[in-house]
Structure 1
């Protein structure tokens, strides 16, 4: 029995020793390590800065009345195209009672004066026809009759203007007819029939009847941070990305940079404006929010690599590791050009087809 126990213990000790030796051997073997690689490729590199803003019409006009009253007719609605001079609305004038009373009294006095002038004219015309009085004596009565008729006509026109806002002679160009001052699209009509409106005067800007804009001439209005404004200048190209229009970019040309900055949220912002080259088959609505990529520099169809593949030495030398064999890499100095922060142009050092090590992404092979 003791012999059997001895044999079993001996076998256990030998097995444990063998497993220990195997474990130590496995731990001593280094696992193969390889790296991912990427190849240079041809692409366009655009160095840009981003400005946020919106797309608005260059000319946007608020149409306001020149007389106060109540909207009697409204002839337009948002989205309609109008031409300069088209009637947008008609205003019913609410006359001032004092002015109306004075105008009515003036008409009454003018009628009395006219009737009296007609009586004198008729009496003296009979005498003139009979040869009792001369032509010179008759002419003052003719003149008095014409003056009285003219005064009555003027008093009646004045009363008509106070009541209706237009005279008999100029009814086609009455102040009660609100007309468009430009050709364009109606963007908004903030009033309705029956609303009271106030005329433009020295003390009030007046009620807006409609907002009209030329939608064929759009601009981008945005703001650029003070750290970027020194890099841009008038005439630079912009690439507009409109949030409401997916997968479509628009070109624009920078026209204006504000000479004065405005503080917003602790940072100084400078206003910029750019002319938008809208496509004929794409309608851009006024007020769309947009991001403008200001093109600082551009290289088209150049050899490039990802910025993360580049390693730096002494803050001036740049190099990459190019795969030359199985798990062997050759360090090569490269000359770089324009960078957009993600990819960088390669001027010399590597070519298309070279496998460049992604040095910070090792892959351990089991």
Structure 2
């Protein structure tokens, strides 16, 4: 009986061992991981620099007063188109009391001097008419009289300018603020009643209005220091405006700043480009824009996706793995050309017929696997 029980236990042990071996063999019998492949294709690759910025008028003119005072009236609105000489605003002069008193005193002095000169002139005129006074002496007295009249006129003009801002209230009076160029009013930063200061050696003065020719627009943007050395004057640029969809505008690079400005840890260089606008398109000043500058363009070159590239950990040289058999691959070092960030030109290393291993294929998520099952 014990002998039979022993054989039964041995049989059960053998069955368990066989079951375990079968499980191991079944687990290890899963097929090896296979990789997808790709081939090189002929592509047109464009290497470009993208700059962000805005579109602004080429020239903006700040209109400033020639005399200090208070805005009496504003005769235009933002967006109005003006010709040179058009009236923009009027200024009411608030004279300085000390200057006003001084000017009034100068007028009085000039009047006294003129009265004395006239008395002397009248006396010498009578004597000259009788032949008592020589011609040269009379001409000297007449000159002094005329100079006294002119001095009074000058003093009166100065007094009038200090008091009301104009010597005679003509159309060119300092109190009349006029456009100095043809263009569109972009901004009027003041309002009626504001006090304004004239431009002088110590102060830029208060801007009454900003005028610009909206038919001459430029792109102004920033380029990173890593890209600025690749730019050249006259390069063609494509401009995309955020406010104008599905349209590109041509431009030419005309300025590259000689000095960069640090912005959030990166050095940026200002660039400017002349913008070519169709006659039927109106662009507002300050539109945000992106400029695409083509550095290099190659058509019909052998290229692969940049995602297929691998890099040697020590030399950092690029390579790909080429299929040589079933689950067998061979490393091929590559020489690369121009890249657009998606495709890269292949100068040497592979041919159009080589099958390239897609080494970084992503696996489906667990939820996707469950869904497939």
Matched, 1:172 2:171: yes
- The residue number in structure 2 matching 1:23 is 23
- The residue number in structure 1 matching 2:46 is 46
Instruction: String of CA shifts for 1:282-315, please: whole Å, max 9, x gaps.
Output: 5444344445444332224545321122346776
How far apart are 1:218 and its partner, in Å? Answer: 1.4
How far apart are 1:98 and its partner, in Å? Answer: 3.9
- The answer (yes or no) to whether the contact 2:69–2:195 under 8 Å persists in 1 is yes
Counterpart Cα distance in 2 of 1:196 and 1:214: 28
Cα distance change on mapping 1:150 and 1:28 into 2, 3 Å: closer
- Please say which of residues 151-160 and 113-122 is displaced more in the overlay: 113-122
1:319-330 → structure 2 map (5 Å cutoff): 319=320, 321=322
Cα distance change on mapping 1:109 and 1:262 into 2, 3 Å: closer
Matched, 1:206 2:200: no
Gaps of 5+ in 1: 1-8
Instruction: String of CA shifts for 1:235-256, please: whole Å, max 9, x gaps.
Output: 3344445555555554443333
- The answer (yes or no) to whether the contact 1:199–1:207 under 8 Å persists in 2 is yes
- The residue number in structure 1 matching 2:217 is 217
Cα distance change on mapping 1:322 and 1:63 into 2, 3 Å: farther
Counterpart Cα distance in 1 of 2:103 and 2:309: 90
How far apart are 1:89 and its partner, in Å? Answer: 1.2
- The residue number in structure 2 matching 1:6 is none
Counterpart Cα distance in 1 of 2:49 and 2:304: 21
Among 260, 277, 286, the alignment partner of 1:279 is 277
Counterpart Cα distance in 2 of 1:182 and 1:208: 15
- The answer (yes or no) to whether the contact 2:305–2:344 under 8 Å persists in 1 is yes
CA-based RMSD: 4.9
The TM-score, its normalising length taken from structure 1, stands at: 0.70
Counterpart Cα distance in 2 of 1:355 and 1:241: 39
- The answer (yes or no) to whether the contact 2:55–2:217 under 8 Å persists in 1 is no
Gaps of 5+ in 2: 1-8
How far apart are 1:68 and its partner, in Å? Answer: 0.7
Counterpart Cα distance in 1 of 2:203 and 2:231: 41
* Higher strand fraction (1 or 2): 1
How far apart are 1:193 and its partner, in Å? Answer: 0.7
How far apart are 1:361 and its partner, in Å? Answer: 1.7
Aligned length: 349
How far apart are 1:56 and its partner, in Å? Answer: 3.3
Matched, 1:307 2:306: yes
